[in-house]
Structure 1
Amino acid sequence: MNELSKGKNKKHIILALLFLGWCLSYLDRMAMNVSIVEIAKEFDLSPAALGVVLSSFFAGYALMQVPGGWLADKFGSRKIIAISIIFWSIFTVLTGFAGSLISMIFIRFLFGLGEGGYPSASSKAIADSFPKQERSGAQTIMMSSNSLGGVIAPLIATPLLVWIGWRNVFFAIGALGIIVAWLLWRYLKPENMQSESDDKEAVKKVPFKDLMKNPTLWKLAIMWFGMSTLIWGLISWMPLYLTEERGLNLLAMGMLTSVPALTGAIGTIVGGRLYQKHFNGREKYYAPVFSLLAILFLYLLFNAPSVSLVITYQALCTTFHGLVFAIIMAMPHQVFSKNVIGSSIGFINLGGMIGALLAPTVMGMLIGKFNGSYTAAFIYLIVCATFTILAAARLSHSSKRNQDMPIEKSV
């Protein structure tokens, strides 16, 4: 096997392992969203209290986004990835030992803090392992794991929940995390994460304050705030919505929610491919339209007369969400130098996680305030998602990008 073939194989293995790490993280998160029905019964929690439990993860997760990106840029992705997975796996196990509302909130906060280092570190690993022209495609394939995890997680977590109870679900997933951390540590060695030797990218360090002056960075963060609010609001509350409002049992709910997750994964993968061929430089035209369509199908979802239409509209909503998500995650690899990709992805993800943090709690409060009605909660998602349209419409076109990207001039 020649060196070129070896290099391609290494890149593909790295991408597969990073994808596996994302699937695990998503399984951990979805286990809580699936288990929340049983947890609510055991702890006798109100909708507002449930929202706080669901949001506590995102509080820690959001808090770690920027520090996680900075640490990945400074110390390398391998260390941060391994530490992050081990840390969150420990607190996944501890979730199964939670004995009160306060302990559950505290454990889930620390769980989020541990998981918060993985997004930036995995994006940094992509930048270190792939040449620039391949990074956007690799990034969107990796990030499609979010939606694919939504397909797999209910199919795994829901039957386990029924068979062994919610506490044992977290014990099993935590043990799996230690194995995944070992696999990633074993393979993500410097000699395996080296892109082409003739890579001409500059390696000059860029101060974080200069990165913060980049307007495109802020626009992408706002875009992800809106889309993250939409998707995590749905993920957090659709299990209860389908069981309480639409009358489904746990197994039926788990199976049906995997359908929109699958279409979201397809949307992200297709979006990544289209970005490389058509969207690059035209983000301001495509992203607002896709965002508007996602909002339209969200509106139709909660007004649908039947369960089948609810799932159909949710699937269409997540498809267009996936297309927008692909643009948000692919664009940084074309705009920013790889030596600041961890920090830039971390900041963009911070915007998204603020939305994800607020969505479950605000929706829970609105559901409680309006006597169990979900209408106001879904309207909240629509309002936040409109920020994506506004920010996307102001993205700079490719021909003007050098004026909009002072960071590119300084590296």
Structure 2
Amino acid sequence: MNARWLRIGGTLMLGMFVSYIDRTNLSVSLPSVAHDLGFAGNTFATVSGWVLTAFLIGYIFANIFGGVFTSRVDPKKIAIFMMGLWSVSTLVTGMAQSVVLLVICRLVLGVAEGIYWPQQSRFVKLWFAPNELTRANSVIQYYGQFLALGLGFIILTPPSRRAGMAPPFLPLRRYRPAYHGTALCQNITQHRRCALSGKNPVTEPRRNRPG
């Protein structure tokens, strides 16, 4: 495996991993979120349904229209902007003090991740030869997506249960002291995303892709 597979394929796989972890974190923290925002009683199922569905609504529309509207824009710019947008959305989710804001954050997260997803395929098409496309997409999708789905609850459940533990992003304590577990889950993914953005393939191939 050469450097191109590690640098490009590995980075795209990590991007997929982080995006799917982001979809898991609220599911882990939802009971404590419901308690903090006051829908832990009879309205829990209804409100939780709206909170979780908001992401899917944004994601579906962004998947349908996002790829079309961004097809003529540099994928590196779209990917970086969408990472920034979903980072802000995840951060604000940890500080949300109302159900409305929580739903809006989830909707924005869905839009950002829905637009980001097609950009990965565009990166693969730019960097890999035609005979490598299937293998590259399979590696990125399989290891990025399924590892996140398999490990997400293992990674996020312990900090969520240790709700009294101070989160690494201390300003969140100031805004919502009871939100430690949720904020910590959000910021675990936030720190992973910051590390990812620092090594994102933001330059086009210097020469035509091999093959």
TM-score normalised to the size of structure 2? 0.81
Specify the alignment match of 2:168 in structure 1: none
The 1:156/1:119 distance shift into structure 2, 3 A limit, reads same
Specify the alignment match of 2:171 in structure 1: none
Distance in 2 between residues matched to 1:75 and 1:143, nearest whole Å: 23
Q: Deviations over 1:296-350 (max 9, x none)?
A: xxxxxxxxxxxxxxxxxxxxxxxxxxxxxxxxxxxxxxxxxxxxxxxxxxxxxxx
Q: Is the 8 A contact 1:93 1:173 kept in 2?
A: no
1:171 matches 2:170:
no
Distance in 2 between residues matched to 1:72 and 1:192, nearest whole Å: 22
Specify the alignment match of 1:161 in structure 2: 160
Deviation >4 Å, runs of 4+: none
CA drift at 1:96: 0.4
- In our comparison, the structure showing a higher alpha carbon Rg is 1
Distance in 2 between residues matched to 1:51 and 1:192, nearest whole Å: 47
Specify the alignment match of 1:111 in structure 2: 109
How many corresponding residue pairs?
A: 189
The 1:192/1:81 distance shift into structure 2, 3 A limit, reads farther
1:147 matches 2:161:
no
Q: Is the 8 A contact 2:62 2:115 kept in 1?
A: yes
Aligned AA (2:113): E
Aligned AA (1:191): P
Q: SS of 2:96's equivalent?
A: coil
Distance in 2 between residues matched to 1:88 and 1:31, nearest whole Å: 13
Aligned AA (1:188): V
The 1:38/1:129 distance shift into structure 2, 3 A limit, reads same
Specify the alignment match of 1:189 in structure 2: 203
Match of residue 9, structure 2, among 15, 31, 44: 15
Specify the alignment match of 1:95 in structure 2: 93
Q: SS of 2:95's equivalent?
A: coil
Specify the alignment match of 2:81 in structure 1: 83
CA drift at 1:192: 5.6
Specify the alignment match of 2:71 in structure 1: 73
The 1:148/1:193 distance shift into structure 2, 3 A limit, reads farther
Distance in 2 between residues matched to 1:16 and 1:143, nearest whole Å: 11
Aligned AA (2:96): A
Aligned AA (2:139): I
Distance in 2 between residues matched to 1:114 and 1:93, nearest whole Å: 14
* Cα RMSD, aligned residues only: 2.0
Higher relative contact order (CA 8 A, sep 6+): 2
Distance in 2 between residues matched to 1:73 and 1:141, nearest whole Å: 23
CA drift at 1:37: 2.5
Aligned AA (1:39): V
Aligned AA (2:65): P
Matches within 5 A, 1:9-408: 9-42=3-36, 43=38, 44=40, 45-144=43-142, 145-163=144-162, 164=165, 165-184=181-200, 187-191=201-205, 194-196=208-210
Distance in 2 between residues matched to 1:192 and 1:141, nearest whole Å: 23
Distance in 1 between residues matched to 2:207 and 2:89, nearest whole Å: 29
TM-score normalised to the size of structure 1? 0.43
CA drift at 1:107: 1.1
The 1:162/1:71 distance shift into structure 2, 3 A limit, reads same
CA drift at 1:102: 1.2
CA drift at 1:193: 7.9
The 1:179/1:26 distance shift into structure 2, 3 A limit, reads same
Q: SS of 1:166's equivalent?
A: helix
CA drift at 1:23: 0.7
Runs of 5+ unmatched residues, structure 1: 200-411
Q: Is the 8 A contact 2:63 2:115 kept in 1?
A: yes
Which has a greater percent of helix? 1
Distance in 1 between residues matched to 2:126 and 2:69, nearest whole Å: 15
